[in-house]
Structure 1
Amino acid sequence: MLTLPTLDNRLEEYRLAGDALIPRAPRVPLTRTAFAAAHVVSSPLKERDPWLGPPAVDWDNSLQFRHWLWDQGLGLAEAMDTAQRGMGVDWPTAKELIERTMRDARAHPLKPRVACGAGTDQNPRDAYKTTDDIISAYSEQMEAIEAAGGQVILMASQAFPAIGANAADYAVVYGRLLEQVSAPVILHWLGDMFDPKLKGYWGSADVGTAMETVLSIIGAHRDKVDGIKISLLEKSYEENLRRRLPEGVHLYTGDDFNYAELIEGDGKRYSHALLGAFAAIAPAASQALEALAQDDRETYHALLGPTVPLSREIFKAPTQFYKAGIAFLAWLNDAQSHFIMPGGFQSSREITHYAELFRLADRARLLSKPDKAVERMKLLLKLHGID
């Protein structure tokens, strides 16, 4: 029993539901590819001027969390926006993160699949003037990822809107990049709810027009495109794009609101997963996908259904602050010893939000060490004057 604040500014007693899932590896091969997009934490002892300059990453804790995901049979999306790319983590830090992660992945007994984000964040946004500038920056990061042994994710870049790129500019840049990559990549369509500076990506603020552009790029280079991750938080957009993709090109859902339905599919088509939410709900995600692989859809929905309210709270507006909730849940579950984040990002959400995440995670059977979770929740409440 503990006392938690509510979203309407009251205090109320809360008793844990119990019956938490025990994290474990799937017992059968999965029929969906599942990348969990992981965050990083900073070393509380080494961090200096957390709002300025590069972070002092806590490598032990950050890698420990990745092993926790891998041990449950999930793949990893590395150095994405979940890891605060452009929001506290710079390219040299991201490059080191990728290299460390790939070394650990090669040594892991399950040999997890790892895809890594390539972007243009080694230079400030206003440094980009031409498409050649964008190509050069992407190329540098792609080469580093391939040298480390990772699959490339071509992350959405703020540089395109910064230069006012039109559809033809996107076609030129992505065409050049796809020609030079050594293995098929995952494209990345991140909506402006995640990053307002990406508004108008693919050369248009109209989703239908933007979709025509990206489909044209994929069609022209289908042998170099493994798939596309779409994060627009609108189920119909994803279903439309999925229906129109060339055969063999995968749709990786980034919809942290509707993933359960999209991954299950409509009987003809389904989405794979590249989700920040999966880093927060790993035991339920892994065991639900195991059930789906056995065509046990009742268990699939019983496991994933209760996680959707949790994910919606994590990704509530302003959506770009969702990373704090994922790190908080990793701390509650003892997958990390703290949740101090680059730039002090843990302070981007309020205590009532964290209390609501605690309740929703418990109801979704995601507090796998209940006593530890209660101890840590009480500590956080006390720091906020709630004893």
Structure 2
Amino acid sequence: MGKKLKLPRANGTFSYYEPSQSSVFEIPTTPFQNRIAFSAAHVVCDPLANTDPLTNPQIDWEDTLAYRRHLWSLGLSVAEAMDTAQRGMGLSWNGAQELIQRSVAEARSVGGRIACGAGTDQLLPSAQVTLEQVEAAYEEQCSFIENEGGQIILMASRALAACADGPEDYDRVYSKILQQVSQPVILHWLGDMFDPALKGYWGHKNIDEAMEVCLNIIWDNREKVDGIKISLLDADREIEMRRLLPEDVKMYTGDDFNYPSLIRGDEKGYSHALLGIFDAIAPAAAVALHALDNGDISKYNSVLEKTVPLSRHIFQQPTYSYKTGIVFMAYLNGHQKHFRMIGGAESARSITHLSELFLLADEAGLLVDPHHAANKMQKILSISGIE
């Protein structure tokens, strides 16, 4: 029996916990047949870099690329340089360029699928930004990604949200960019719970009106749209929009609360996946998707539903701090040697939050080596004054 952890709980008490035995996910090596599954991947910072982590964060390229190889080895695709990689929240466009360049080359070397975020984060959002500047920023990033050989994920733009006068400005910018790309892109609708600067995106605060604008843009440019990822944490809205898309345009769920049912689908359709939580639950996601391919709905439900409490905890408000939990899972499972993040974002969640995360991860069977993870957890507890 190992040493029990003294874990702080949300009610102000402590509980003593000994982790379970390790779970082994047996994952087939064949590709997924019925769903496309992107994991938005985190970055590993270099904790020894002699630079300011807020203004000049450095990436540990060896561990960052190793994690992408891990995701590809499980059959998952990689969504690169997205908000999970702290894009716009520690990772600048300059840093994202090197990340995209290295990851696309790595994908090519191992035969993995990759898509990369194109945004406008060269611009400081303000009402003084012009639509021409937004278009030029998008054009620069799209061109860079296509020149590197990556598929584009057209990310939501803080600058456009800040300067647009109404829906017609979104239609203008998106239509212009979509007509210029050489390959179909994945659009990205990120709700303001993930990024408050995107409130009122598509020119409306009302979701029904915003959805109508977005759908009109997709229908008008459907030959240039592979699909759309929406992250609104509202399953009914996603299903509604999924049924209104052109037949050849995919829905990629970004709903980290309701993904099991959305991916499973119903008699009228289903969602593919482009999820930040797949970074943290990658082995379980792979097993579940293979079960779905085999028609084993019971196994699919059993495996994936166990991960939902963990995901809902990681993505609890403030939702944009979910990156901390994603990186903490990678630390617990030995994918990085430290729990540090670019921009010092490891401090965005409390020790009580991380303790609950540890418990939920163990209950879901997502700790590769629970006793090794417990030793790592104890280090974090000790730093917080809990021996």
Instruction: State if a TM-score over 0.5 links the two structures.
Output: yes
Aligned equivalents of 2:8, 2:167: Cα separation in 1: 48
For the residues of structure 1 that align with 2:108 and 2:64, how far apart are their CA atoms?
17
- Tell whether the 8 Å contact from 1:333 to 1:368 is kept in structure 2 after alignment: yes
Q: Per-residue CA shift, 1:282-330, capped at 9, x if unaligned? A: 0110100000010100000110011000000000000010000000001
Q: Deviations over 1:153-194 (max 9, x none)?
A: 000011122113311111111111011100000000000000
One-letter identity of the residue aligned with 2:52: D
Q: Superposed, which structure 2 residues align to 1:1-387 within 5 Å?
A: 1-22=4-25, 24-27=27-30, 29-51=32-54, 53-108=55-110, 111-126=111-126, 129-387=129-387
CA distance in 2, matches of 1:23, 1:75: 19
Q: Mean alpha-carbon deviation: is it higher for 173-182 or for 369-378?
A: 369-378
- Letter aligned with residue 363 of structure 1: E
Q: Distance in 2 between matches of 1:339 and 1:379?
A: 10
Query: In structure 2, how many angstroms separate the alpha carbons of the residues matched to 1:377 and 1:177?
Result: 46
Following the alignment from structure 1 to structure 2, what is the Cα–Cα distance between the partners of residues 384 and 211?
45
One-letter identity of the residue aligned with 1:256: D
With 24-33 and 65-74 compared, the bigger mean Cα shift is at: 24-33
1:89-147 CA-partner distances (Å, limit 9, x unpaired): 10010010000001111111xx2211100000012113852211111000000011111
Asked if the contact 1:235/1:255 (under 8 Å) is kept, the reply is yes
Distance in 1 between the 2:165 and 2:114 partners?
Answer: 30
**How far off is 1:22 after superposition?**
3.6
> Against the structure 1 CA distance between its residues 44 and 242, is the aligned structure 2 distance closer, same or farther, given a 3 Å change threshold?
same
Deviation (angstroms), 1:27: 4.0
C-alpha separation in 2, matches of 1:27 and 1:259 = 22
| Alpha-carbon distance in structure 2 between the residues aligned to 1:102 and 1:357 | 32
Distance in 1, Cα, partners of 2:290 & 2:128? 45
- Once residues 123 and 239 of structure 1 are traced to their aligned partners in structure 2, the CA distance between those partners, rounded to angstroms, is 34
Q: What is the SS of the residue equivalent to 1:126?
A: coil
Distance 2:177 2:145 in 1: 14
TM-superposed deviation, 1:68: 1.3
d(CA) in 1 for partners of 2:290, 2:242: 23
CA apart distance, 1:67: 1.2
Matched position secondary structure for 2:223 = helix
TM-score, length-normalised on structure 1?
A: 0.97
Letter in 2 for 1:11: F
The CA deviation at 1:339 is: 2.7
Partner Cα distance (1:304, 1:26) in 2: 19
CA deviation vs aligned residue, 1:15-41 (integer Å, no higher than 9, x gap)? 223241347454453311000001112
Residue 46 of structure 2: SS of its match in structure 1? coil
Q: CA offsets, 1:167-222, max 9 Å, x none? A: 11111111110111000000000000000010000000000001111111010111
State how far apart, in whole Å, the 2-side matches of 1:23 and 1:89 are.
35
User: d(CA) in 1 for partners of 2:165 and 2:227?
Assistant: 23
TM-score (norm 2): 0.97
Secondary structure at the aligned position of 1:117 is classed as strand
Aligned-pair identity in percent equals 52
- What residue ranges of structure 1 are gaps of 5+ in the alignment? none
d(CA) in 2 for partners of 1:54 and 1:88? 9
How large is the RMSD of aligned CA atoms in angstroms?
1.3
AA aligned to 1:7 is: A
For structure 2, which runs of at least 5 residues remain unmatched after alignment? none
State the one-letter code of the partner of 1:32. R
Amino acid at match of 1:163: C
Letter in 1 for 2:23: A
Residue 47 of structure 1, CA deviation: 4.6
What is the CA deviation profile of residues 350-370 of structure 1, one whole-angstrom value per residue up to 9, with x for unaligned ones? 101111111000111100122
3-state SS in 1 of match to 2:132: helix
> What secondary structure sits across from 2:216 in the alignment?
helix
Distance 1:59 1:28, change over 3 A: closer
CA contact (8 A) 2:243 2:268 kept: no
Q: Which letter does structure 2 place at the counterpart of 1:229?
A: K
SS at match of 1:170: helix
The answer to whether the 8 Å contact 1:26/1:286 transfers is no
